[in-house]
Structure 1
Amino acid sequence: MGRMTTKLDDLVSMKVTVDVADQIAEVTLLGPGKGNAMGPDFWRELPLVFTALDADDDVRAIVLTGSGANFSYGLDLPAMMPTWAPLLAGDALAAPRTRFLDEIRQLQRSVNAVAECRKPVVAAVSGWCIGGGVDVIAAADIRLASADAKFSVREVKVAIVADLGSLQRLAAIVGEGHLRELAFTGRDVDAARAERIGLVNEVFPDQVAVLAAARTLAAEIAANPPLVVQGVKDVLGHRREQQVADGLRYVAAWNAAFLPSEDLAEAAAAFLERREPKFRGR
């Protein structure tokens, strides 16, 4: 690794390798939750990784992928539950709501680090990519998928308004109508549908093929003048990221105000008890 990324050797939730010859970094999600679920270690390490790669002159492009069969099951609910416990207890006053607002904003900053990294990020997705996984790939520049990939903006299914970037970034990627369908229903979308709506650029036969394609694409990007490539990314993201920032502030405040509900408590209980939730709109 380059000088700026040697401090990433002790990561828990992801692995970073840098091919200095091709000037490509590869970030592999490791979990440690099942299906690379995103717990506290992930949210702490994600901005460290992308800030370091942004500053490393040996890196001109980044491939982001998941270990094992899946990209990510999304938020690790059991691991994150202690943060939510005061809200689920009912009658949450200003102090726990303010702490929760701070938590949302910190998670948002973690995802933003992917979008704000000056080096183009190519996501290679296999298997499930759910909830927070979609937030992360929406912050990437280019998305490729294997034929077995499945995507879901799942937050509505657990009584949450998605608040880490999917609602702010996906409209520019898939269009407003498709985004509303995905966000209102929480349904699963296969790789073929994802390609049709523009969520992914191309679908490949399997995990080996999609990772090879992502590496080839990253190498093609890395062969171009690096400052110009970074300039293109900066110009393309200028107006969109301003709108995203405004939307993220709004949804963070909205969730701090309205997320506590009987439906959220029911979603958490149903998840832990492995049963279907019964939502009552309270």
Structure 2
Amino acid sequence: MSYRTADYKAFEVAVADHVAEVTLVGPGRGNAMGPDFWAELVPIFAGIDADPEVRAVVLTGSGNHFSYGLDLPAMAGDFGAVLADNAKAKVRTDFHDLIKRMQSGINAVADCRKPVIAAVAGWCIGGGVDLITAADIRLASADAKFSVREVRVAIVADMGSLARLPLIVGDGHARELALTGKDIDAARAEKIGLVSDVYDDREALLTAARSQAAEIAALPPLVVQGTKTVLDQARAARVDESLRYVAAWNAAFLPSNDLTEAITAVFEKREPQFKGE
């Protein structure tokens, strides 16, 4: 089955005039990233990469938001075994494999030879930032807000933000965002270089993203792909090393009482109380 006609649960995919438009659609609230998202991301972008008719990609979210990030309730089952007090090597190895599989989804976006333009409206949280840092160009609407939120839910970000964000905004800004988990608005995101331009609303944003994709699609496709490949070469080893390190680190150290507390607080709709345990 073609990636264009597959029955996706977390995405909508459309191709026209050499441009693929990939839209996050949930099914979690705020296009949160649950099991369907992680299962479908690789085949979609592998298909786009292999499709000679596609020369550029627009990546956006449906509704009012780009993505609320990792769907903790939907993914809680995947964390359950490793959070047990007696989690041994097999459980931690399986968890390490899960992290690597999830990383492969974001990597599929980064490794796609067709340039990817992320169009962000509303909230872009946690995994959403991982996703847009894998894009080549990032645009935002004036209501966009960004947060490397993982530290606030007792998780070391392991899907790529810690590897790619410093290469986009610089080490200082990346550390501020990752260590505080603070929210920033579109104006601040543009100021630090996280996004290239800010537009009045979602409609204007999508018009601009589609126009830029069309501009790229009109250029010699093999030269565009070669340019992206050369640009990626300088950072590829650094990103790969960081992803491997954080996957091993989280398999060893991520399980904690604080993470259990964060997940419990989500289900109970309250603020977590962290104790460093």
> Are the counterparts in 2 of residues 5 and 56 from structure 1 also a CA contact under 8 Å?
no
> Are the counterparts in 2 of residues 4 and 55 from structure 1 also a CA contact under 8 Å?
no
After TM superposition, the score normalised by the length of structure 1 is 0.97
Distance across 1 between alignment mates of 2:237 and 2:218: 29
Q: CA deviation at 1:89?
A: 2.2
| Aligned residue among 235, 260, 264 for 2:259 | 264
- The equivalent of 1:116 in structure 2 is 111
| Aligned residue among 198, 202, 218 for 2:213 | 218
| Aligned residue among 138, 147, 151 for 2:142 | 147
Q: CA deviation at 1:4?
A: 5.0
- Within a 5 Å distance, the mapping from 1:1-282 to structure 2 comes to 4-6=2-4, 8-19=5-16, 22-282=17-277
Distance across 1 between alignment mates of 2:86 and 2:206: 48
Distance across 2 between alignment mates of 1:105 and 1:5: 22
Distance across 1 between alignment mates of 2:183 and 2:193: 15
Q: CA deviation at 1:201?
A: 0.2
**3-state secondary structure, aligned to 1:26:** strand
Q: CA deviation at 1:158?
A: 0.5
**3-state secondary structure, aligned to 2:158:** coil
Q: CA deviation at 1:268?
A: 0.9
Distance across 2 between alignment mates of 1:68 and 1:241: 33
* Structure 1 residue ranges (4+ consecutive) displaced by more than 4 angstroms after TM superposition: none
| Percent identity between the two aligned chains | 65
Q: CA deviation at 1:113?
A: 0.1
Structure 1: gaps of 5 or more residues = none
CA deviation map 1:246-274 (0-9, x unaligned): 10000000000000111111111111111
CA deviation map 1:116-171 (0-9, x unaligned): 00000000000000000100000000000000000000000010000000000000
> Are the counterparts in 1 of residues 3 and 43 from structure 2 also a CA contact under 8 Å?
no
> Are the counterparts in 2 of residues 145 and 203 from structure 1 also a CA contact under 8 Å?
yes
CA deviation map 1:207-251 (0-9, x unaligned): 000000000000111111000000000000002121101100000
Q: CA deviation at 1:278?
A: 1.1
**3-state secondary structure, aligned to 1:80:** helix
> Are the counterparts in 1 of residues 66 and 120 from structure 2 also a CA contact under 8 Å?
yes
Distance across 2 between alignment mates of 1:104 and 1:132: 13
> Are the counterparts in 1 of residues 73 and 266 from structure 2 also a CA contact under 8 Å?
no
The AA in structure 2 aligned to 1:273 is: E
Q: CA deviation at 1:9?
A: 3.0
Q: CA deviation at 1:90?
A: 1.7
Q: CA deviation at 1:74?
A: 0.5
> Are the counterparts in 1 of residues 21 and 57 from structure 2 also a CA contact under 8 Å?
yes
**3-state secondary structure, aligned to 1:275:** coil
Over the aligned positions, Cα root-mean-square deviation in angstroms equals 1.0
Distance across 2 between alignment mates of 1:155 and 1:132: 8
Structure 2: gaps of 5 or more residues = none
> Are the counterparts in 2 of residues 4 and 56 from structure 1 also a CA contact under 8 Å?
no
Q: CA deviation at 1:95?
A: 1.1
